[in-house]
Chains A and B, each alone.
Chain A
Amino acid sequence: MSDAYSWRGGDEFLLRHGVNFPLQIIIIEPLFEESNRCRHLLVSVMRGLAANGIGSALPDLPGTGESLVDIRNVAFSDWHEALSAVVEMVQPVVIASLRGGALLDGGLSAKGYWRFAPETGARIVRDLRRTQLGGSALYAGHAISDAFLAALEVAPTVPTAPLRTLRLESDAGDADAKIAGSPLWRRAEPGDDPELAAALVADLTDWVTQCAER
């Protein structure tokens, strides 16, 4: 169902499944174009979680998705502030993030944290610049401000505990577990990977259950 959270006096889009379940999680999307490519996967994951009795909330960050805010007027720190508002509203057991979303979970209150294929800010900025072949980094046709890119480039992944990190088998980075699947965030045409979605649902369900008992 579509819901909304308040940020700076306006409403921002919040997709929810299983809103009445006592166990809730928040999902922080990959950043920029990668979020569109992973949307199908994330909606499948949310449905799967609901079938296991876990509710989930997927916010559109200000300046992205359905947001009426212009990305040119958004600072990287605004995203953290927006997510704090979602946390207050949803009271999640776990905050789950994908890719660059993992740069935003630090300091948000939850019993546990879960990251899938976390990526550094420097690599995301490099990718954004490369996509434009030397021009300014664009999102939905608008230039992302230099101040935003500078903040994103040095954004740390904040150590959070308890944390569980998953990566694809093809990814050489450190992880608690590696799973089979394709990097949908790189796909030129948005795709789906039902087996990957099912594996993520199973892993998240276990982790949420463990964290809820703490």
Chain B
Amino acid sequence: MTTQQHSVDTIVRGVLVDVLGLSPARAEALDGESGLFGTLPELDSMAVANLLTELEDRLGIIIEDDELDGEMLESFGSLTRFLEAKVSG
């Protein structure tokens, strides 16, 4: 992983702990294939809004409403890839 990928990965895990209340061990165990929306019971629509806003704050990005779709939040890997692309601008 590049430094940037590494930091996005770390930030996403940290936000999952802080927003969803996952244990750090559970967040650490997530891999690219791990399901998020539809898999994690903690991630309902209210939590999605909080998750995205906190990610925006920590990564210094803006996620537009039309960028939101089920695919982006499908797995840990799809979310981090989306965010890495945003961060690289």
Contact = CB atoms under 8 A, between A and B. Distances in A.
Interface of A: 123, 126-127, 130-131, 133-134, 170-172, 182-183, 186-189, 191
Contact of A127 (B19, B47, B53, B60): B53
B57 A188 contact: no
Given A127-B53, A131-B50, A170-B58, 7 more contacts: A123-B53, A133-B49, A172-B57, A172-B60, A183-B19, A187-B21, A187-B50
B52 interface: yes
B50 to A, nearest CB: 4
A188 B40 CA distance: 13
B45 A133 contact: yes
A172 B54 CA distance: 12
B28 interface: no
B17 A182 contact: yes
A171 B57 contact: yes
A186 B58 contact: no
Interface of B: 14, 17-21, 42, 44-47, 49-54, 57-58, 60, 65
A183 B18 contact: yes
B58 to A, nearest CB: 6
Contact of A188 (B14, B20, B52, B58): B20
B21 A134 contact: no
Contacts of A171: 57-58
A188 B65 contact: no
A187 B21 CA distance: 7
Contacts of A123: 53
11 contacts: A123-B53, A133-B49, A170-B14, A170-B18, A171-B58, A172-B60, A183-B19, A186-B18, A186-B50, A188-B21, A191-B21
B49 A130 contact: yes
A40 to B, nearest CB: 13
A177 B37 CA distance: 35
Nearest to A131: B49
A188 B53 CA distance: 13
Given A134-B65, A170-B58, A171-B57, A187 B18 contact: yes
A157 B57 CA distance: 18
Nearest to A188: B47
Nearest to A181: B18
A189 to B, nearest CB: 6
Nearest to B52: A130
B39 to A, nearest CB: 16
